[in-house]
Amino acid sequence: MKVLLIYPEFPDTFWSFKHALPFVGKKSALPPLGLLTVAALLPPEWTLRLVDTNVRHLTADDLAWADYALISAMIVQRKSAHQIVSQCKAAGLPVVAGGPLFQSEHAQFETVDHFILNEAELTLPPFLADLERGCPQRVYSTSDFADLHHSPVPRWDLLDLKRYATMGIQFSRGCPFNCDFCNVTAMLGHQVRMKASAQIIAELDALYARGWRGDIFFVDDNFIGNKHFLKTDLLPALIEWQKKRTGNMFFTEASINLADDENLMDQMVHAGFSKVFIGIETPDDESLAECRKIQNGHRDLVADVKRIQRAGLEVQGGFIVGFDHDSPSIFQRQIDFIQKSGIVTAMVGLLQAPAGTRLYDRMKKEGRLCAESSGDNVDGTTNIIPAMRMETLKAGYRRILDHIYAPAPYYQRVRTFLREYKAPRVRGRLQFSHILALMRSVIRLGLVGRERLHYWKLLLWTQFCRPRLLPNAVILAIYGYHFRKVCEKHVE
């Protein structure tokens, strides 16, 4: 059996980094980890070919070569997924689909032959068994959750590693919290399920053996969902792994209660973690209570962020406007919070209600659903009718983005962060892509960019005040260029 594994293209979004990737000579920020894991679950005698359309085109030769096409996608890849399914069907190729997009919208893909929903460790084997018997069903789903101890090492050999800026691995699934706008628990449950430390080390060793020396993203929705296991098992194993290897830095996602555990933060930094994304959402306690973000309520969130930064972890933050309790003052409050906290990578979006969430069910019951969720956090759209006038909400949203990503406040925020940030104990290996990024940033940002004065002031300030963090300053300057491009495109 010859199988084509196809990953649809991401549009130009906040997290695509499409405007930053050319600085380092890469095509995509991350590989399709789900497809690589599925590939490892397929019969070993099958011949596999991966086509990530973010790094190369799907060709007629690809389609003619294959017996089956397997497609995985997220909601934000909806448009590209429809196009790819059409290409496959026009070529007479049977299509098997899975992933978050098809989990919530499989009814909208009438021409797909088979759907492997939920977690592939559970639903793919019965499909394969039925396929071998010649009687595959159209939909395979389950309400059970997979035991991650049986999840295989992803098929890194299918990748051209040079095309990617970072790699991704997964340690756990599920989240103990219950935010009403988040579909993570609807898909993956509240119980945090983990791989064994030996599995993670095996995945890291496999990447290292293939020559990967760059950053690695632990894609868990809440990496610290089981603190005890992290502190007593995984992090000590990662610290030992770092002693024998050089060049790999880690980053991940976590909840704000990370700030309460100095020992955990210290262990993460020793293990090589340098960045963490945290859903801050809003500084308004009433809006936090509304969305059941209880872990963020009644805290000094700015102090929490700075505590994490001082421990040696850069905080990237997610923010939302459009809650029912939001008043017009929320826009300036969000600006003030972001600037004061020094969260440089600040993703600000309008509240959306993904299918399968409690927010979606409430909006549907109240007759306030007006579209499907775009899956893009920063495209200035919402699929609900907000309590605030839509014109006021969109104008306030534009005001936030126009301010925080304008060169002057953005570069000021970078300096605020660098003043707080503790230089990492584990440092990545200098690579050619880093030198390339510096050279191209000097030309693009320092010579012709409208931010060139701010760029040179930042680099000079960093060289004299925080010289070890000069690479961080260059990277964040490049990020700012990407964020401004995205905002200019999506927010009119």
pLDDT at 459: 96
Question: The domain at 165-420 falls in which architecture?
Answer: Alpha-Beta Barrel (3.20)
The residues that bridge with 4 in the sheet, in sequence order, are 49, 69
pLDDT at 426: 63
Class of the 2-140 domain? alpha beta
pLDDT, the chain, mean:
95
Q: Where in the chain is the domain with CATH 3.40.50?
A: 2-140
pLDDT at 463: 95
pLDDT at 16: 94
Tokens at residue 54, please? 């973010």
Work out the average pLDDT over 17-24: 95
Using DSSP, how many helices (H) and how many strands (E) does the chain show? 20, 14
Contact 58, 6 (CB under 8 A): yes
- Render pLDDT for 470-488 as a digit per residue (tens, 0 to 9): 999 999 999 999 999 998 8
| Residue 232: Cβ-neighbour burial (10 angstroms; 0-12, 13-18, 19+) | exposed
Residues constituting the chain: 492
| Residue 99: Cβ-neighbour burial (10 angstroms; 0-12, 13-18, 19+) | buried
DSSP E strand boundaries for 262-338: 273-281, 314-321
- Render pLDDT for 419-448 as a digit per residue (tens, 0 to 9): 999 887 666 666 777 888 899 999 999 998
What separation in angstroms does the CA of 404 have from each of 36, 325, 412?
A: 37, 23, 10
Work out the average pLDDT over 200-215: 95
- Render pLDDT for 37-88 as a digit per residue (tens, 0 to 9): 999 999 999 999 999 999 999 999 999 999 999 999 999 999 999 999 999 9
Work out the average pLDDT over 462-467: 94
Work out the average pLDDT over 275-297: 95
Q: How far apart are CA 194 and CA 251, in angstroms?
A: 17
Contact 23, 437 (CB under 8 A): yes
Helix 330-341 × helix 390-404 angle, to 10°: 20
pLDDT at 310: 96
Radius of gyration of the chain (CA): 22
Contact 52, 26 (CB under 8 A): no
- Render pLDDT for 81-115 as a digit per residue (tens, 0 to 9): 999 999 999 999 999 999 999 999 999 999 999 99
Confidence of residue 352 (pLDDT cuts 50, 70, 90): very high
Helix, strand or coil for residue 254? strand
Tokens at residue 233, please? 């098992």
The residues that bridge with 276 in the sheet, in sequence order, are 252, 315
Q: Where in the chain is the domain with CATH 3.20.20.70?
A: 165-420
- Render pLDDT for 135-181 as a digit per residue (tens, 0 to 9): 999 999 999 999 999 999 999 999 999 999 999 999 999 998 989 99
| Residue 39: Cβ-neighbour burial (10 angstroms; 0-12, 13-18, 19+) | buried
Work out the average pLDDT over 364-385: 93
- Model confidence, pTM: 0.95
Which residue from 25, 22, 28, 35 is spatially nearest to 73, judged by alpha carbons? 35
pLDDT at 40: 98
pLDDT at 422: 87
Which run of H or of E encompasses 5? Answer: strand 2-7
